[in-house]
Amino acid sequence: MKVLISGGYGFIGSHVADRFHKEGYEVFIIDNLLTGRKENVTFKHKGYQLSVEDPKCEEIFRSNRFDAVIHLAAQVSVADSVSNPRLDTESNVLGLVNMLTLSQKYKVKKFIFASSAAVYGMNDKLPLVETDLCNPISPYGISKWVGESYCLKWEQLYDLETVCFRFSNVYGPRQGSVGESGVVSIFMDRIISEQPVFIHGDGEQTRDFIYVEDVADAIYRASYTSLSGIYNLSTNTERSVNSLVDVLKELHDVKEVHHTDRRDGDIQRSTLSNEKIKNELDWVPMYDTNEGLKRTFAWFKSNQAKREVAVSAVAETSSKRQWLKSIQPYFENLLAFALTAWIVLSQQSSAYGLIDVELFYITIIGIIYGNRQSILAVVLSIGLFLFKKLDDGHEIVSLMYDTDFFFQLAIYLFIGLVVGYSVERKNGIIQAKEQKIVELENRYEFLNGVYTEVREVKDELQHRILNSGDSFGKIHSITKELESLELEKVFMATVNVVKSIMGVQTVSIYTVSPNRSFMRLVANTNDSGAAVSKSLRLEDHAYLQKMLADGKVFVNKELNSHAPLMSVPIYHDGTIAAFISIEGMSIDKFSLYYQNLFKVTSDLVSSALSRALAYLDATESRRFIEGTSVLRKEAFEEILSSKKQAKSMHNTPYLLLEGELGQMSLKQYSEKVASMLRETDYIGSVKEGQVVVILSNSAAEDANFVLSRFAQQEISMRVVEGEL
């Protein structure tokens, strides 16, 4: 299973990535790293440094068929959205549309969009529910509201299943101080660094604070369900800013608390109802605010010191480099001028004949640095030329009438401008070409990375197939064992294949009775030796009723001892014909990956079972003696052979009974016997005047009870073969 998380290196995105990774997903991340940090995600994954509106995103979708896309990338600062609404729109609207379009184009199963409580605007009704009026007061809130409309419309137009979560104030580890939810992290930073805490207004304004891991849990659970639409994601609990500070005082000494003027447009009270998500997803937040703040404070305390040192070092280094880079051209220009002045003033220029040293200096500086430094070189050269003239005894007034003097100045200015402009133009062309080369190199590197990744996956799969006997055995089992048209052999092959693929101890197959009230055990493999029920009454087991109703895989998340760990329905002709149940699975395999693997395996079994049942229907006249439910010798012996093989491989018991027809006809005898048998038992005729019966899943201790039942109906039988 593959999931793409946009903004996956950010605060919320990194926690969502962690959750999907723990559930066995392959995680892919798109992030422009403007606010995200790569060190937030420490496990093995594939990351792309891109903006979500970048056309190169299509290469990622084309190369990886994602099961879910979690769109968290956004410009999250309300203040920035007000000062630069265009940038906000590019990221929050154009980026979303690009992700939606690519998700629809490349058949993504679920698209989850991170919206915000900002869509409600100034609304005094509490708690706010999803159907309340939306009236956002900032470009950020508008872009989120528009994003919800896009998601809903994509679901209507293109059948892309979308979920929009309106987050309340999310807080937790890795949070920065940008955006509406940064109040917790701002307070944490200031308290740990022994700085005063500033509260806008009286501090009685309330917010609905939700811990980030609860958000990640809801997003993950929504990704594999049929949930769609708009939902609040919150705790449905009001918490004042003052009470927030009170909890922090218990965790660490607060130096000072100052109340400042209330900010314009600040909402006084805010709470989101979470009833809809609780009812439809069966989700509730696990962490209350006190517990969440403790966990957040512990993380900030352990990370604040090294984070400050790293930021300070980077800022200092960057500042020094910028300063040195900016003054370097001026320093080198002045150094060259000093050399020029020394040559001119020390009479060294006469040694060079007709060479004008100042002109040479202007030309060289212009070629190296372009227009700005060449003009400075012209000014310095004119000053030097003037100083030299005055030093030679010329008067300022006389120079004003000296045409040679002005001609020389004009030459300096002309050469400086021409050389500087030409070099500047050449540098501009070169920079444009270099930028184009960089873009092409980045695209090549990006495509090469995608190609390399695809090659690695292909090589890994090929390696597993060629070198892993277990993988080859599984593939062989699926393609070969399930090819039989004999129903009993299909049942036996199924338990073998499921056991091999899922790596479990016990696999059981139950068929549904014609009246759909009982489940009969038809095959099982039981390495653990635990007792396996031979018959299940549907009304006694809620999980069976649920599977019959919704047709989905059952996962025993509550670890109910009266239900299997997993069970999946098997279909024939559009209706549920059987169930496969598994037990004895290690806890590390109790994940979504193995749920999906179980479902894929059941689809293969359903196909094989349908073929076998269709074959039985087509060959019924040849398998049964006409007018009876008695199998002909060849058909009966084939089933008996399957029972013997099942007993040999999995110790699956059966009883073989034999009786004499006496004065009754075969039809009369079979009707009497059939009325006392189960759907999984068989009647056959292998000798003249005799009838044999196979009792499936019946052990030696069952023999006396079965024989006494036959005796009550004046049918005499004896055990020929079984567990005796």
Cβ neighbour number for residue 246 with a 10 Å cutoff: 12
Cα–Cα distance list, 457 to 27, 46, 63, 452 (Å):
14, 12, 11, 9
Report helix, strand or coil for 389.
helix
In this structure, are residues 168 and 117 in contact, taking their beta carbons and an 8 Å threshold?
yes
Dist. CA 95–CA 86, nearest whole Å: 13
Cα–Cα distance list, 439 to 87, 151, 444 (Å):
22, 32, 8
The tally of CA atoms less than 13 A away on the side-chain side of residue 503 is 11
Q: How much helix, strand and coil, in percent to the nearest 5, is found in the chain?
A: 55, 15, 30
Report helix, strand or coil for 441.
helix
Strand order in the sheet with 68-71: 46-48, 26-30, 2-6, 68-71, 110-116, 162-167, 229-233
Dist. CA 320–CA 326, nearest whole Å: 10
Which of 48, 140, 510, 682 is flagged as catalytic?
A: 140
Report helix, strand or coil for 2.
strand
Residue 315 corresponds to which amino acid? A
**Taking Cα atoms as reference points, which of 420, 413, 426 lies closest to residue 365?**
420
Does residue 140 have an active-site annotation? yes
User: Which DSSP string do the residues of 503-570 spell out, in sequence order?
Assistant: T-SEEEEEEEPTTSSEEEEEEEEESS-----SEEEGGG-HHHHHHHHH---EE-TT--TTS-SEEEEE
Sequence-separated (6 or more) residues with CB below 8 Å from residue 239 = 206, 207, 208, 209, 289
Kindly tell me the number of DSSP H helices and DSSP E strands found in the chain.
23, 23
**Cα angle for residues 59, 64, 68 (degrees, 5° grid):** 115
Sequence-separated (6 or more) residues with CB below 8 Å from residue 128 = 117, 120, 232, 270, 271, 272, 273
Which residue is listed with tokens 């003009």?
A: 375
Q: Which residues are catalytic, by number?
A: 140
